Amino acid sequence: MLETVYSYTKSQEKVVEKLVGDDQVMINHVVLAKGEALPQHYSDSNVYLIVVQGMLTIALEEAEPNHYQSQVVNVPFHTKMNISNTHEEPLEFFIVKAPHPRVYKGQNA
């Protein structure tokens, strides 16, 4: 078997799990129930948010929140992010950081 398989949790309740942590990419899986959020933080690499279920609510910098469903959202490096689920349906999405933040910092130091 040449491939590597990464499993993730299927849930309707809060899940935040790291799946892949290679130099080329970091992939996390997140599920948020209504009213749940991730801590406000700054993006530490090129970030792609892949929404697979529900609706992602995200406020970048000081702007009003936007809502995304079944879309890929790119957030540039060092952007303040507030990610939450303000809708009834559970929100499930993947966070892809390319390259991995430890590599990005090394390349841009």
Decide: pTM greater than 0.85.
Answer: yes
Compute the half-sphere exposure of residue 69: CA atoms within 13 Å on the CB side of its CA.
8
**Residue ranges of the chain with pLDDT lower than 50?**
none
> Residue 28 to residues 8, 52, 55, 109: CA-CA distances in angstroms?
9, 13, 17, 24
Give residue-wise pLDDT tens across range 84-97.
999 999 999 999 99
93 DSSP assignment: E
CATH architecture of the region 15-107: Sandwich (2.60)
Angle at 64 between CA 62 and CA 70, to 5 degrees: 120
Report the pLDDT value the prediction gives residue 109, as an integer from 0 to 100.
Answer: 58
